[in-house]
Amino acid sequence: MTTAPHSEVFAKEGVRHSIRSLAGWFPWLLLGILLIVAIPLFVCLPLWVDVSLYDVCARTMLEGGVHYRDTFDTNPPGMPWVHCVIRGLLGWRSETIRIVDLLVVGTSCWLLLQWQSLVGLSRAQRGWTAFLLAFFYLSTTEFEHCQRDVWMLLPALLALHLRRRQVERMNAATYGKIFGWGVLEGIVWASLIWFKPHLLVPILACWVVSTIEMRRRGVSLAFRIADGVGVLVGGLLVGGLGCLLLVISGSWPYFWTVMLNWDPEYVLYMRRPRAHLNRLLLWAFQSTPWSWLHLVIIPIAMRHVLRWTRWSESEKSPRTFLVCLASTLYLSWFLQAAILQYPHDYVMTPTVLLGIWILTLDLAQRPWSWWLILVLFILGINGIRGNRLFSSRQLCLWGRCWREGSAPALRDEITRVSPSIATTDWEDLENVADFLRTLDLKDRELTCFNDGTHPLYLKLHLQPSTPFLQWTPIQFIFVQHHNEVLTLLQHSQQRYVVSDLLLPMGGSPEVLNYPPQRISTLPEGFPEQFRNTFPYSEPVLFRSGRYLVHQVTPPCPPFWPEWKERAMRHSHSSD
């Protein structure tokens, strides 16, 4: 008589356990479906102009060229070095670097989930975090993929885990062990500086917070000094090795010429307050609803840091420190991205990934709000803005991704950005490449004047006529160097130049859809103010859509002088 109630209790407990188990695996099932749908589309997206730039730099270095002398670059050499490794080992297909991008971002997400596991999040909660992280990144445009800021998140998170372990081992390790692990951590942190020096902000912020935590845990001054010296030695080691590589490759003097003589003008142009604020607001609007998360996450992260600063014993717990250290990384990264850097979309992308991480850490303490907010957020994305990943146009191309790979025709259809001077019409550019192959071109005889034409250097395996690849910033930003640039162009070996009609023609539909044919004149309606400026002053040999192939007739006239005047006004205005 007494066994039946017990059997019913056990049965109910078994049902509850099964439901909890299924609930724990449900977000991971959604994640698997998302990856099956999104990865083929992601891999077949075209590469952004920045990726093409670093590919050209990498090919030049792999073939014996000198970075900064043969390929102009305003940034530290970290990304071209990485491209040299990837392209040298894995080849030059666009799908290759996109798969590497997936692996890098996927590893970063795994490190974020590992941190959540340490804090105590359940399998289901970590699954929802993984789903949100993947959903966000896989739905972004190619402007944000394969970029330095996103890839820098991986070594930063690895160093953060090393920092956590260093704090935990402090009272149970020798000076030598503390110093050795500090050196390793310093090596990882310092690798970020060779990508962007702005990352000094989160590096110092995380180190200061961890050092204060060591003091609060009673770690002796000697151990803290050993830790700090180790980190410093690791950083100096990486800095020295990077400098040695620049010297050995012959890039050292040209690197400093760019950093000291060109970059100040670049920084001055990008630091115009009004332009900076407008760009930040534009990103916030275009990235809705993801950008809105920061309005909620910044106060949450600040609350976690303030909670950690309390000195009461009840607040001194490993979880409090872990959440504080995570919040410190988020806040300091957001600070340098939104204020110190020019807030391009790809600069802000890591802040959203870190923001999702912090938000889910906080929601884990409120189970019902966790489920409700996540469900409403995911369902509301399409209603608020329209998601690129699950648009009907994208989903219809899923089968073609498997059949065609990243073919030119598919790239033109699958792209997620509107046509601009930085985008490429891949079928038209392929027609241009076919025509140029008939001219028997040699290295330094071709100039790709507009940003979207850079892939021609890679398609034709040619070195550019001058070190300058992105002519748009040359015209707008480096106004004081115009004469120097023009002299280099006039004394180059260029025989042909490829131009883009999109900007002077205002992006009119007839430009974007014009059929390829041989013509000897500019199209009807071409603005008169551009007819006598380079490269449109040169005879036209071939046209495909928005692209023209010109034969150069020395001497080269100045390019777009009215742009120079406008750039001068911008550079001297306080905004």
Domain range annotation of the chain:
32-384, 426-572
Residue 415 has pLDDT above 60, yes or no: yes
Residue 217: exposure state from Cβ atoms within 10 A (0-12, 13-18, ≥19): middle
- Kindly indicate the confidence band of residue 533, based on its pLDDT and cuts at 50, 70 and 90: confident
User: Vertex 254, ends 93 and 451: CA angle to 5°?
Assistant: 40
CA atoms within 13 A on the CB side of 447: 27
pLDDT for 570 equals 42
The token pair at 1 is 């008589």
- Mean pLDDT for all residues in the chain: 85
Residue 3 above 60 pLDDT?
A: no
Asked if residues 183 and 136 have their Cβ atoms less than 8 Å apart, the reply is no
Q: What is the pLDDT of residue 245?
A: 95
Output 324 or 395, whichever has higher pLDDT.
324
- Give the C-alpha separation, 459 to 58, whole Å: 14
The verdict on whether omega for the bond into residue 273 sits within 30 degrees of 0, i.e. cis, is no
Joined together, the tokens standing for residue 119 give 């804090």
DSSP 418-486: ---TTS--HHHHHHHHHHHHTTT--TT-EEE-SGGGTHHHHHHT---SSS---HHHHHHT-GGGHHHHH
Q: Are 88 and 60 in contact (CB under 8 A)?
A: no
- Across 19-37, average pLDDT: 81
The helix/strand/coil state of 393 is: helix
Please name which of 315, 406, 405, 320 lies closest in space to residue 362, comparing C-alpha atoms. 320
Average pLDDT of span 184-195: 94
Residue 412's nearest CA partner among 436, 390, 431 is 431
pLDDT band for position 366 (cuts 50, 70, 90) = low
For 17, half-sphere exposure in the C-beta direction (CA atoms, 13 angstrom radius) is: 6
**Overall average pLDDT of the 275-294 stretch:** 86
B/e letters for 163-195, b = 16+ CB within 10 Å, e = fewer, are bbebbeebeebeeeebbbbbbbbbbbbbbbbbb
Which amino acid, one-letter code, is at 553? T
- Residue closest to 512 by CA, chosen among 425, 437, 387: 425
Instruction: Return the structure tokens found at 89.
Output: 């080992």
Question: What is the pLDDT confidence band of residue 480, given thresholds at 50, 70 and 90?
Answer: confident
Taking each helix axis as running N to C, give the angle between helix 345-363 and helix 94-119, from 0 to 180 degrees, rounded to the nearest 10: 30
Tokens of 510: 């007839």
pLDDT at 568: 45
Q: Using 50, 70 and 90 to split pLDDT, how confident is the model at 156?
A: very high
Lowest mean pLDDT among 327-331, 466-470, 536-540, 554-558: 554-558
pLDDT(344) > 80: yes
State pLDDT tens for residues 45-76. Answer: 999 999 999 999 999 999 999 999 999 999 99
Minimum mean pLDDT range among 11-15, 454-458, 519-523: 11-15
d(CA 204, CA 184): 16
Report residue 371 as tokens. 């489920």
Band the pLDDT of 373: cuts 50, 70, 90. Answer: low
Query: What local confidence, expressed as pLDDT, does residue 567 receive?
Result: 43
Closest by CA to 477, choosing from 257, 263, 279, is: 263
Q: ∠ CA(450), CA(454), CA(455), 5° rounding?
A: 140
Residue 100 CA: distances (Å) to CA of 91, 103, 145, 204: 12, 5, 11, 29
pLDDT of amino acid 574: 38
Closest CA to 332 of 226, 192, 229: 192
How far apart CA 466 and CA 142 sit, in angstroms, is 27
Distance CA 224, CA 202 (A): 19
Band of pLDDT at residue 393, cut at 50, 70 and 90: confident
